Amino acid sequence: MKAIIDPLAGFCRGVNRAISLVERTLEEGKPLAVKGELIHNRLEVERLYRLGLVPIEHLGEADGRSVLVRTHGEEAGFFARAGKYNVDYLDATCPKVMRSQKVIRRAHDEGKQIIIAGHLNHPEVIALQGHCDNAAIVVNQEDTSAAIDPQRPALLIAQTTVKPEIFIQWQNKLKNTVKDLEIFDSRCSFVTRRGEQLTEFAREHPAIVFVGGKHSSNSNMLYAVCRQVNSNTIFIEDETELDPGWFNQFHQVGISGSASTPMWLLKKVAEAIESFALKQI
């Protein structure tokens, strides 16, 4: 049995940029801390902690270290507090997220209602809220349209990793109700493209092992894409979750992951799967 790694899998540009920044800074011997989970992949995060990255809860714990701003970004108040605590920061906010923050600030200054299609508690959305005085209305699958004033101009924007159908659903709904609606499609093209690429990959293989963080919205979305076209799809965080017996029925397995799944982990999973086959010889 062969385990084929998706050639298009691996970190997106934003995550790659953030991880390279951490590695470079630590290699130079500069102490570095991060507030919150750097990316939604526990194993990669633990690797970076072993290299010397220190997790902290708030800026007061920086203790002379620089603090990394994650790809999800931070709310405007973070930068003011960094000044107050005299903390240096390294900004790894993904440029795509930065663009959303800028658009939100501008629309908020123009007096528009800010409507974000996304998840209320997602760090990116929490950070976006901080760029409009926490006045944004976050919409998802539930009908929260009652909070939206159809008479006031509004901006509809998306969490970069939101499911396309959610954004499209709200676009259609608000176009017909809000009088003066600006729509800014801030979905990440890497994520939307990955959906199409993964659909093809999942069709080409008898079974798919999707590797990613279970609480990563990008992982859950891409896993759902695979599962939709190939019911023989499993979702794991690492190779310890694999059941050797499940692979007996397949001659080949495709392995893929999300924007925050490191290539080293995909290789480890592929090696584990191929070792099950060897044990049966």
Sheet-wide strand order for 252-257: 2-5, 252-257, 208-211, 233-236
127 binds ligand SF4 (CB under 6 A): no
Q: Could you say which residues in the range 66-85 bind ligand SF4, by CB under 6 A? A: 71
- Closest CB 78 distance from ligand SF4, rounded Å: 18
Q: Dihedral through CA 260, CA 91, CA 111, CA 122, nearest 10? A: 30
261 binds ligand SF4 (CB under 6 A): no
Q: Could you say which residues in the range 182-201 bind ligand SF4, by CB under 6 A? A: 188, 190-191
| Residue 193 CB partners (closer than 8 Å, separation 6+) | none
**Out of 13, 42, 81, 268, which residue is the one contacting ligand SF4 (CB under 6 A)?**
13
User: Is 124 an active-site residue?
Assistant: yes
Choices 12-20, 109-117, 142-150, 272-280 (CB under 6 A): range interacting with ligand SF4: 12-20
Tell me the two tokens of residue 117.
């299609």
Name the active-site residue from 37, 124, 200, 204: 124
Q: How far apart are CA 177 and CA 9, in angstroms?
A: 40
**Out of 40, 65, 96, 112, which residue is the one contacting ligand SF4 (CB under 6 A)?**
96
- Closest CB 281 distance from ligand SF4, rounded Å: 40
Amino acid, res. 16: N
15 binds ligand SF4 (CB under 6 A): yes
Element holding 23 (H helix, E strand): helix 13-27
- Closest CB 67 distance from ligand SF4, rounded Å: 18
- Closest CB 207 distance from ligand SF4, rounded Å: 26
97 binds ligand SF4 (CB under 6 A): yes
Token pair 């209320």 in the structure block, residue: 120
Pair 74, 130: CB distance under 8 Å: yes
CA geometry: angle at 127 spanning 168 and 112, to 5°? 60
From residue 268, alpha-carbon distances to 3, 177, 204, 240 in Å are 11, 51, 22, 10
**Out of 3, 174, 221, 259, which residue is the one contacting ligand SF4 (CB under 6 A)?**
259
Chain residues in the site for ligand SF4 (CB under 6 A): 12-15, 71, 94, 96-97, 160-161, 188, 190-191, 259
Residues acting as catalytic residues: 124
